[in-house]
Each structure stands twice: as structure tokens, then as C-alpha cells.
Amino acid sequence: MASTSPEGGQLLRNLILFGRVLRGLGLDVNPGRMIDLVLALQHVEVGLKSDFYHSARALLVHERDDVALFDAAFEMFWQTPLGEWRLLEIKGRRIRRGAEKPLVAPPALPGEPGRQPLPEDAQERTVLEVRKTYSEREILRKRDFASLTEAEVEEVRRMMDELVWTLGEKITRRQRRGGRRRLDLSRTLRRSLRHGGELLEFAHREPRRKPRPLVVICDISGSMERYTRLLLHFVYGLTQGLGQRVEAFAFGTRLTRLSRHLRERDIERALSGVSAAVLDWAGGTRIGESLKTFNYDWARRVLGGGAVALVISDGWDRGEPELLAKEMDRLRRSCHRLVWLNPLLGSPEYEPLTRGMQAALPFVDDFLPVHNLASLEGLARHLEKLERR
């Protein structure tokens, strides 16, 4: 064991020092992971470099970008005598802090044998230099859509196209072969005929699963103008990713169906069709009246099959809050789950104090932000887990 023999004690001290080096280089190495490594080394042949290396990497590296940094630190630390550090320069290392800061090799632990004070000229040899830069894509993931420049908008659109959308499935009344949930008596009896009527094989069946439909109702009024173009791109990506199971609508002072236009394969043609179809861009907002039109004209056609409804709006409404509350109640009873996406929710200071939000919130199942790319990634995970919840 690593902590019972003199050699094991020396190894334990070296492991602690190695963990400090990795933390200094920016890896997320905490005491718990170091304890796990010490316990794991009791079950491997420490004398075999490959076993020791793979055990350490599996337990201490948790991001793909950190593998190259770990490899270089491992080779430098475990092959070079402790008193003969060399300059370690690893280019392209991306961590959260933006400034470059040289990292110095950790000092000797109290009472540690074999470690002599470094000579005065050792500074050049003991520096572990890491180039720390921000990842541009990581910055854009967390930038509010309203603050993006034109070039950044194009990059965010390309990143949106990489999102994978999967909607939770529903259990249907139809059955299929397999599983262990229910005995299929008729098939079991038919199989028994092969064995002279003896029940030797049991057949089972389970319910079929089917993806749920998704209905998106997006606010394109004046108060949402800063977010509209990217949110429409988001709705287009949903439609392309989930196909015929998505129905899309836009509203300001009136409701407009966008599904046919957003199913165009060419995004420019799709958005041109949307621009021509919507007549109330950047105008007023009448959420209650628009939802009433949807509930009476479209709900029976598009909310069947346990659909999930997404309402995208900041909640600013010129209509009557009583009408909005009534139509939200009707919409909630017509769908499997009602999700309200508000771009203002991404601000820590935001509170849903407008009359529209106050009237709608009692009928909302999930109230989520939709102000940046990271929030869209969170929404994708949320939609995928709806059935399991």
C-alpha cells in the first residue's frame, strides 16, 4: 500500500506534489481525486509506467483539452529529478483567466527528505509557463444575444447549427415485442405448441414509445427586437432538427403560422418567407389575444399526442391580464407541458413584475432563460429529459 512502507510514504509525498503541480497548471485536481488515485494505486502495479500513467490520467483529467497538458507534466515530473526542473511551455492552453502568469514549481513539503534549496540561478529552470487565453467560442456561449456584434451574430448562428435537439418520448397505447414489463399470453401459448403444449418459453411485450410534438409560439414585438433574429434562427434549427413534429407561430398583435416557411432547407429562403408572412414586426404585444387565436384555431390541430408547448416572450403585454391568464390556463390544459422562455431571465437583477408575467406564471411548468447560447444548450438537455421527469 502507498502509505505503509517507506517507499510508499515517499510515493505519497510525490503524488501530493504532483497534484499541486497539476493544480498550478490549471487542472481541476482536488484532494478527493488525489485520495481516489492513492486508493486506485493499491490495485495496480506501480512499477509499470503504463499502468501508473493510465490510472493517474483517468482519475485526474476530466476535460479533453487537459490531456496534452497532463502528458507533458507527467513526463517532466516523473522522469526528471526533483532538483532539476526544466522549463515547460505548453502553447494553446485555454483556461478561464485571461492574463499570462508564470507558475513556479512548488516548494518542498515540511520535513521532506531529498529536497535541497534551489540555487539562486534556478528561477529560469523552475518556471512552468502556461499560455492562458480565453476561448472565443466559450465567450460567445455566455454572451447575451442583445450585446452581440454583426460578426458575432454570424458565429453564434454557426454554433446554433451544431446543437442537437432531442425531444422526450411518450408512451403510446400500442405494444411491441420485447422487454419484461408485461406477459404476452397469446404468443406464449403459440410458442408452447413447439414443445407439445409445455410452457418452456415466455413471450413479453412493452408499450411503444413515440417522440412528442413540439409547438413554439414566439414573440416578435418591439420589446423583443434585440433577440428576434437569433431566436428565429433557433426556431429554424428546432424545426430542421425535429422535422414534422414541430409547429411554429409568431405573434405581436396577431398570430402568424411559420411552420411551412421554416421547413425550407435553405435558411435564407426560410427567413425570407417568414419576413413576408409576418405583418406586425416590432410592434405592440397582445399575448392574451394571440393565445386566444391559437387556442381556438390551432390547438386541436397541433397539440394532439401530448405535445410540449414553448412560449418565448419577455412578458410585456398591452392586453388585459385577465384574458392572458384565462388563455394560459386553457393552453396549459391542452398540452403535456408548458415551458415559458424569457430572455430577460438571464439577468441576475430580473424579477417577473410585469402584469403579463404575473398573469402567466401560475400556469407555467418551466420558467427558463433564453438569452445566450449556453441557455439554449440547457434547454436542449431539459427537453430531452422531460419524459424521465
pLDDT in tens, 272-304: 899 899 988 878 889 999 999 999 999 999 998
Nearest 5°: phi and psi at 7? -65, -40
CB neighbours of residue 27 within 10 Å: 20
Residue with the bigger pLDDT between 60 and 112: it is 60
Q: For residue 286, what pLDDT is reported?
A: 92
Are 234 and 106 part of one and the same domain? no
CB neighbours of residue 361 within 10 Å: 15
DSSP notation for 145-199: GGG--HHHHHHHHHHHTT----PPEEEEEEEEEEEEEEE-HHHHHHHHGGGTT--
Residue with the bigger pLDDT between 315 and 34: it is 315
- The percentage of residues in the chain with a pLDDT greater than 70, rounded to a whole number, is 81
Are 220 and 360 part of one and the same domain? yes
Q: Report the CATH number that the domain containing residue 301 is assigned in CATH.
A: 3.40.50.410
In a domain, residue 178? The reply is yes
305: left (phi over 0), alpha (psi -120 to 50) or beta: left
Does the pLDDT value for residue 218 go beyond 90?
A: yes
Are 49 and 105 part of one and the same domain? yes
Residue with the bigger pLDDT between 170 and 326: it is 326
Range from 66-70, 327-331, 375-379, 383-387 that averages highest in pLDDT: 327-331
Query: What is the pLDDT confidence band of residue 240, given thresholds at 50, 70 and 90?
Result: confident
Which among 134, 157, 182 is the end of a domain?
A: 134
Retrieve residue 29's grid coordinates. 485536481
In a domain, residue 149? The reply is no
Are 372 and 289 part of one and the same domain? yes
> What tens digit of pLDDT does each residue of 1-12 get?
444 343 456 778
The Cα–Cα gap between 252 and 227 comes to 14
Q: For residue 387, what pLDDT is reported?
A: 60
Are 284 and 363 part of one and the same domain? yes
Residue with the bigger pLDDT between 154 and 208: it is 154
> What tens digit of pLDDT does each residue of 72-82 get?
888 888 774 44
Q: Which domain holds residue 349?
A: 212-384
Shortest CA distance to 239 belongs to which of 207, 221, 277, 213?
213
In a domain, residue 143? The reply is no
How many domains does the chain divide into?
3
Shortest CA distance to 226 belongs to which of 159, 151, 158, 149?
149
Retrieve residue 70's grid coordinates. 497532463
Are 246 and 363 part of one and the same domain? yes
Are 119 and 12 part of one and the same domain? yes
DSSP notation for 223-270: GGHHHHHHHHHHHHHHHHHHGGGEEEEEESSSEEE-HHHHT-SSHHHH
Are 185 and 229 part of one and the same domain? no
Q: For residue 259, what pLDDT is reported?
A: 92
Query: What is the pLDDT confidence band of residue 126, given thresholds at 50, 70 and 90?
Result: very low
* Cβ atoms of 145 and 63 closer than 8 Å: no
Give the Cα-Cα-Cα angle 73, 77, 81 (nearest 5 degrees): 155
Range from 8-22, 46-60, 91-105, 289-303 that averages highest in pLDDT: 289-303
Average pLDDT over residues 230-239: 90
- The percentage of residues in the chain with a pLDDT greater than 90, rounded to a whole number, is 28
Does pTM top 0.75 for this prediction? no
Nearest 5°: phi and psi at 250? -125, 150
Residue with the bigger pLDDT between 241 and 259: it is 259
What are residue 251's DSSP bridge partners? 219, 255
Helix locations, 49-135, DSSP H? 49-60, 67-79, 123-126
Does the pLDDT value for residue 366 go beyond 90?
A: yes
Q: For residue 343, what pLDDT is reported?
A: 93
Shortest CA distance to 1 belongs to which of 38, 36, 35, 28?
38
Average pLDDT over residues 203-209: 78
Are 223 and 364 part of one and the same domain? yes
Which among 195, 210, 225 is the end of a domain?
A: 210
